[in-house]
Structure 1
């Protein structure tokens, strides 16, 4: 019996290849008949189309449409490039948001069933709220003051402590540089740095783990500002960008004040923005040297012309340092995976599964695991025995 073939509009196939972000030659190499499919002289089999959908990260049902759909970010998008909104989201971004929305929905229902109370800080601020006052409230809630950060041995240690204290406050924090559990699909920090999904019972912050540790710290605090606004948002969380909408500017100002209070930088700064001085202050506050430089300017300790020249030189130095650093990946799965899915979330799912309220198959899907042994070890890692 001949294989069943599926007629697909050539424009959909071309759209899927372009949308995937993968090199077209790689996809054509994997699917030798793709050129014939695009010409309409031959159609893929059902199994071939399923494989093609998986290879291009395309929802299978899209191939039964008459023309390509328009991908839209399902949450408010505040990202800009040159103050222009980013138009086309990648499949990696869309899937990351979808996965987090599923996890948040489960945790919200779990919280309701457990009789949890709403978190008072969610939606407690507005863009008219005083920056210093709001920053103080956020810093206290996150237990992330400058004095303790100065004692952290590294940016990684400070970030890990911030994740833990944010989760203690009730926020689900997910730090990941990949889509779901797929190590072959790395996230691009130039597309997005993080997003917040606000909810009075289950606020969630996702941070792009491919960014530097200093940038991740700033992004996490920036997204926390959106939670304080009670606002779901996709952000680039780039403090050095001068433009942007009112909400993003407010979140940047508050996040900067949380991390590098103006009163503190005025006491700490030694009157010359040399590389050594910027490095010294960045180590104290556990932020990037570019954030330090911006705060020196905000504090009125550096003129505009000097700031622009110094910023240009410092940016070049930072990019050169990043270029020399090798990118590392992997690590201990049982250490990194709870950070990807949120230790608070993983503990709740595993506990709920052991009580019988959540099926193992649903828990595996939510946690991105496949084997029972992995599930058990993850439970041990997050304190469920």
Structure 2
């Protein structure tokens, strides 16, 4: 029942990219249509963490803008709780203790990141949570790893954004797009309004979205 939108640019403007170092996502709490926005410019593994983190805010019944900076000390109880929830859901402490070999090298961090399908930064945080790292060591390693991740993301920045009809529904929220399409086909929403809601201008684009998404 939660709308989830994923986008790495402002609207559809590929020249206005969203920076993961500025924000990871946000949650809008609403009893009818709660919404989670995930910064699509972030790594896929980081997006997964952000989604669960923001879902935590929805569970708390609050809206929030999150940078998910796990190496920063904070007194925000909600942020701490949402980070703990996301970390425990994705990387349970009971299993990471057994999986960890014993040296937080890049190779070991990447191995565990693949194992749990999270970012290496999340793995570092869990190693700290299990007391395998001190706070100072964790912060130092986190800063180094963060710069490495950012550099790797920038090197992939010129890659293609993929097929429009695969990415556009994610930007809108598939659930929202399907609801608009269904209501339009049933005669409830005028096509002109549907085009505006779906960010399209041509009927053929609408038809292609129908074929990709389907109707509820």
Same fold (TM over 0.5): yes
Return closer, same or farther for 1:358/1:316 CA change in 2, 3 Å cut-off: closer
Which ranges of structure 1 fall in alignment gaps of 5 or more residues? 1-169
How many residue pairs are counted as aligned between the two chains? Answer: 216
Aligned residue for 1:45? none
Return closer, same or farther for 1:199/1:308 CA change in 2, 3 Å cut-off: closer
Return closer, same or farther for 1:353/1:316 CA change in 2, 3 Å cut-off: closer
Q: Structure 1 residue aligned with 2:127, among 281, 296, 299?
A: 296
2:21 matches 1:197 = no
SS in 1 for 2:15: strand
Q: Structure 1 residue aligned with 2:92, among 257, 261, 281?
A: 261
2:185 matches 1:185 = no
Equivalents in 2 of 1:376, 1:324: separation in Å? Answer: 36
SS in 2 for 1:302: coil
1:208·1:216 contact (CA, 8 Å) conserved in 2? yes
Equivalents in 1 of 2:88, 2:39: separation in Å? Answer: 22
Which ranges of structure 2 fall in alignment gaps of 5 or more residues? none
2:71·2:142 contact (CA, 8 Å) conserved in 1? no
Q: Structure 2 residue aligned with 1:381, among 201, 208, 212?
A: 212
TM-score normalised by length of structure 1 = 0.53
Post-superposition offset of 1:309: 4.2
SS in 2 for 1:196: strand
SS in 2 for 1:175: strand
Post-superposition offset of 1:330: 3.0
- CA-to-aligned-CA distance 1:9-56 (integer Å, 9 cap, x gap): xxxxxxxxxxxxxxxxxxxxxxxxxxxxxxxxxxxxxxxxxxxxxxxx
What value does the CA root-mean-square deviation take over the aligned residues? Answer: 2.0
Aligned residue for 1:223? 54
2:63 matches 1:251 = no
Aligned residue for 1:237? 68
Equivalents in 2 of 1:202, 1:309: separation in Å? Answer: 40
Equivalents in 1 of 2:141, 2:161: separation in Å? Answer: 36
Post-superposition offset of 1:329: 4.0
Post-superposition offset of 1:234: 1.7
Return closer, same or farther for 1:312/1:345 CA change in 2, 3 Å cut-off: closer
4+ residue runs over 4 A deviation: none
Aligned residue for 1:273? 104
- CA-to-aligned-CA distance 1:272-329 (integer Å, 9 cap, x gap): 2122111100111111112101101101222334434433443443344334434324
